Every structure is written in structure tokens, then in C-alpha cells.
Amino acid sequence: MAKRQTVSDAEVDAVTDTEVDAVPEDDSGVSDTALKIQGMIFPFSPRYAEGHVLSNEEAKVMNQTLGENLRNNFASRIRAAVTEIEKATPAGEAARSFTAEELEKFQTDFTAYQSTYIFKAPRQGPGPLDPIEREMQKIAKNIILSALETNRTKVSTLPEGQMAAWIKTLCAEKPEIREEAMRRVEVTKSASSDLLATLGGLPTA
């Protein structure tokens, strides 16, 4: 007889997040129990709840999701190590391979990571940003990308959430970013107003 397996709320959310496209929060009238597919909204009834007994096929899906999460998350550590080796390699020379000790450490670290990994419910994103906040994030991200390029660091090697944390810090500590964002938004609004007035005969504000 197959072993009865149950899932927690976090595991339910993790698989649901993997299997379906979340409906944007700013779609008016659309709840978390609806799916947006090719521009159309369809009702969605979640099938799983905490304590649900898994069938054999459901257990396979859970294990596949677990494996994919472990692979994708741990890959960033390996990419970071490769980047460090490349940065330490003199120009014109081929980067070295991992040593036996480094490979063994990867195995040890992965085993530890796998044994402690738990599914996490998908983070709820913030509400829609106002135009200025959105422009601030774009400016901050471009500054960070430029710095990473100068340092020969790939975005793909950054730890999860690092880019978002840097953007938040930069926006908070550099008032000139907000000033530039306000200027850009105002230029866009002014240009849009002029264009609408020209094309549609609309009066300017």
C-alpha cells in the first residue's frame, strides 16, 4: 500500500505558484481565485489544503517541484564561485576548474541545503507603484547594473533578493534619484499632454 503523504499550506502555495500564473493585483475585480489566461479571466478553485493526502502522481509533482527549486536556488552558489574564479584569472588565461576539495564542499553544502529546505509561500508583491516610485526603481537598477558590469559581475550570480535590496537602499539613500525621477515623469506627462492636444484637439490643463 502506498505511503500516505500530506502537504502543508506552504507546500500547497508553492506548487500552486509554480503551476499557474498569478493574476496581477491591480486587475480590478479579480480575486486570488481567478486565473488570467490570454487576456481572459477564468474562475479557479484551489484543490489542495493543508493535510491533503497526496496521490502517487501528486507526490511526483511535489518531488519534481522540490528538485527544480533545489537546483535553481543552488545554481546561484555555483555561478558565484565560477565568477570569483574568472575574476581572479589573469587576462588572456583560461579559468581553472574546481579543485577536488571545492567539488566535495559543493556536495556537502548541497546535502545540508536539501535537508533543511522547506517550501515557502510565494511573496505577495506590493501594490501598484506610482509613476515616480516606478521611475526611481528603474534609475536605481540601471545604476546597479552599470556598477556590476564595471566589476565584471553577472546579475545571475547575485543571491536571491539582492538586487531588490540594493534598489531599495539606493532609492532611500540617494535623494537625487527621486529628483531625477520626478523630472522624467513631469517631462513625460507634459509631452503626453501636448501630443494629445495636437492629435485630438484636447485642451491642455
Same structural domain for residues 46 and 111? yes
Q: What's the domain range around 46?
A: 1-125
Cα–Cα distance measured from residue 2 to residue 48, given in angstroms and rounded to the nearest whole number? 19
Same structural domain for residues 15 and 70? yes
Distances (CA, A) of 121 to 101, 127, 162: 35, 18, 19
Same structural domain for residues 26 and 121? yes
State which of 76, 102, 125 marks the end of a domain.
125
Same structural domain for residues 67 and 149? no
Summarised one tens digit per residue, pLDDT across range 58-71 is 899 989 999 998 99
Same structural domain for residues 153 and 166? yes
pLDDT mean for each 10 residues of the chain (205 residues):
52 45 39 71 78 89 90 89 90 89 92 88 62 91 92 84 89 91 88 71 51
Same structural domain for residues 174 and 193? yes
Tell me the sheet residues that pair with 53. Answer: 6
Same structural domain for residues 166 and 78? no
* Number of Cβ atoms within 10 Å of the Cβ of 58: 16
Question: What would the grid cell of residue 161 be?
Answer: 533578493
Same structural domain for residues 105 and 135? no
User: Phi and psi at residue 36, in whole multiples of 5°?
Assistant: -105, 115
State which of 72, 102, 125 marks the end of a domain.
125
Q: Residue 127's pLDDT is what?
A: 55
Same structural domain for residues 58 and 76? yes
Query: How many separate domains does the chain show?
Result: 2
Q: What is the DSSP letter of 73?
A: H
Q: Residue 23's pLDDT is what?
A: 40
Cα–Cα distance measured from residue 103 to residue 80, given in angstroms and rounded to the nearest whole number? 14
Question: What would the grid cell of residue 108 be?
Answer: 556537502
Same structural domain for residues 174 and 107? no
CA nearest 65: which of 77, 76, 73?
A: 73
Same structural domain for residues 101 and 158? no
Q: Residue 6's pLDDT is what?
A: 57
State which of 125, 150, 180 marks the end of a domain.
125
Helix, strand, coil fractions of the chain, as percent rounded to 5: 60, 5, 35
Same structural domain for residues 101 and 23? yes
Question: What would the grid cell of residue 53 be?
Answer: 493526502
Summarised one tens digit per residue, pLDDT across range 63-98 is 999 999 899 888 988 998 999 998 889 988 888 899
